[in-house]
Chain A
């Protein structure tokens, strides 16, 4: 990702002919039109939305009756406000808990000596290959008998369990590369490993932690299956993806509401994407191993 290595550009700057530009514009257009349609339509009235294409409003912006009613409607009676909060309740701990567990574990595997180290590490990281579908049926049974379905604690732990192997793998790669000297000097000063971990390792590992955090945050925020199975569809706990899917189910072709609801569900990940794009890219590159 760095600019150090040579690039294709021999002279830098704009080297493409008109054909290259045309192709780029064409692909960009194909990628932007679906989202643009969503955004435009979410501000149109229900009559306009069901009787004319969204592009007519784009071509005649002044004669179009724009409205924010769709957003008011989905956020209040549509229950999307609660779902937004539920998504936050689910996503933030489901990101922090696995990172914490993984950071402790990665440090332990990298810098502490104990029996069974390589076996445990091998098993833990090897589980990256297991698709989470494998866990659903037995876990659901445990959850049902422990009355854990539909509880936030239950889904935090589920996302933690499914995210941990990758998290340990990524953080281990980073933490094990930290210079040995810093630990040694800390131990000489009498620091316990716990202190060395919290005061030295964590601050030094921020880039790796951030990469995984973004990856896990988006994964959990956008997850549908785990939430559907372990959290369910009741309005107390339903997250945005669940609520959005149920609006699809109950207001099928009401595209003025659907587009507004979809946009609400996308706002936070898009903000994360726009502000933390650099970490986001790094996280994606690193996360491409997830099973």
Chain B
């Protein structure tokens, strides 16, 4: 193996350096050319629109996937061109520094910038807390915070409750995996896609026309039946996403629809992990199935429940796409992340935008810490 994989050390230093220069030169020229081609969509225009798009994709894939490997290879070649002591000292850094550098640029620096900016990006001479006092007196922001709180109170709890119930129920039927797949599937769908699906569910047509949304069709049919029975005066289709304050709950339903699958999968695995003896013992003691569920199973899997709960809670605090695509934050449905986007792009008020981001961080942090501690306790890794 030694000869096969370690021939470089046997080269003369001059050769090693030459090799390093050639490799580095080739890698950089190739990357530079590739990026230039990628930036100019007209490079392949001669092939016609479809082929040129595919050609562009091919370049992108070779560049993106090959580029990162080429860079590591080049770094390694440079290191090996150096004297042995330097090589040994620097080698570990070739492995870790790229990741640390990227994270430094993409997370550490901007996060610090955001936190600092929320205090410094104020009108000249104003107090550093201006952004915060402004945020907490702005009706729209207070509304967004209130909505985030409603989301936080309902979405994780509802997802866990339904997911847990379904996991427990489905454990007892024959076509378990099929049934689970259907509930699980929405997890593969984007928030934007789900928002389109539910816009369609909630669709509204004026009274007298056929309702094309499932909810209004049911509403009008059932309502019409009640009217026939004389129990109701009249029934009108409902524009679900405009009905303040209920519309926030209809938006939360989209999130729950998406997240129940996650809860179900994790909790189903946990339920199956409950020791058989424990359940049998309870059963011998004469416990009913419901008692066993609440007194034995739920306490045993509470770590998993907490994981699911906190995971969904974090997703909920950052919710953006669903509201952006369905109501755009109108009808009192805005949340902090939507507000932040509006401050950033619509009002160009970066001070307020960074303040929204910091508020988000402060809200997420404690939940995150609970989550990580809990995971450590359970020893969950990959």
Contacts and interface: CB of A to CB of B under 8 A. Distances in A.
Size category, B interface: 35 or more
Contacts, number: 406
Contact of B91 (A28, A92, A112): A112
A-side binding surface: helix, strand, loop or mixed? helix
B214 interface: yes
Contacts of A186: 1
B145 interface: no
A121 B365 CA distance: 19
A102 B203 contact: no
A244 B192 contact: yes
A91 B280 CA distance: 48
A25 B11 CA distance: 70
A134 B358 contact: yes
A96 B372 contact: no
A112 B190 CA distance: 39
Given A52-B210, A93-B64, A244-B193, A171 B382 contact: yes
A224 B320 contact: yes
A165 B372 CA distance: 13
Interface in B85-107: 89, 91-96, 98-100, 102-103, 105-107
Given A6-B275, A89-B60, A89-B61, A104 B98 contact: yes
Most interface-central of A82, A156, A244, A262 (chain B CB within 10 A): A262
Interface string B299-320: 0000000011001001001101
Interface string A1-34: 1010111111001111000110110011001111
A124 interface: yes
B68 A8 contact: no
B198 A34 contact: yes
Most interface-central of A93, A140, A236, A280 (chain B CB within 10 A): A93
Contacts of A272: 188
B201 A138 contact: no
Interface stretch (B124-132, B240-248, B262-270): B262-270
A68 interface: no
B277 interface: yes
A148 B162 CA distance: 44
B271 interface: yes
B183 A27 contact: yes
Contact of A241 (B192, B200, B356): B192
Given A93-B60, A133-B340, A134-B361, A265 B172 contact: no
B-side binding surface: helix, strand, loop or mixed? helix
A81 B50 contact: yes
Contacts of A153: 35, 38
A73 B300 CA distance: 53
A70 interface: no
A50 to B, nearest CB: 7
B192 A265 contact: yes
Contact of A114 (B92, B166, B318, B357): B92
Contacts of A225: 320-321, 337, 341
A195 B368 contact: no
A83 to B, nearest CB: 10
Contact of A124 (B39, B100, B110, B344): B100
B320 to A, nearest CB: 5
Interface of B: 1-2, 5-6, 35, 38-39, 41, 50, 53-54, 56-57, 60-61, 63-65, 68-69, 72, 76, 80, 89, 91-96, 98-100, 102-103, 105-111, 113-115, 117, 162, 165-166, 168-174, 179, 181-193, 195-201, 203, 209-214, 217, 257, 260, 262, 265-266, 269, 271-277, 279-280, 283, 297, 307-308, 311, 314, 317-318, 320-321, 324-325, 337, 340-341, 344, 350, 353-354, 356-358, 360-361, 364-365, 368-369, 371-372, 375, 380-382
14 contacts: A5-B273, A7-B271, A8-B272, A37-B214, A89-B60, A97-B65, A124-B103, A129-B369, A139-B106, A170-B382, A224-B192, A245-B325, A248-B196, A290-B314
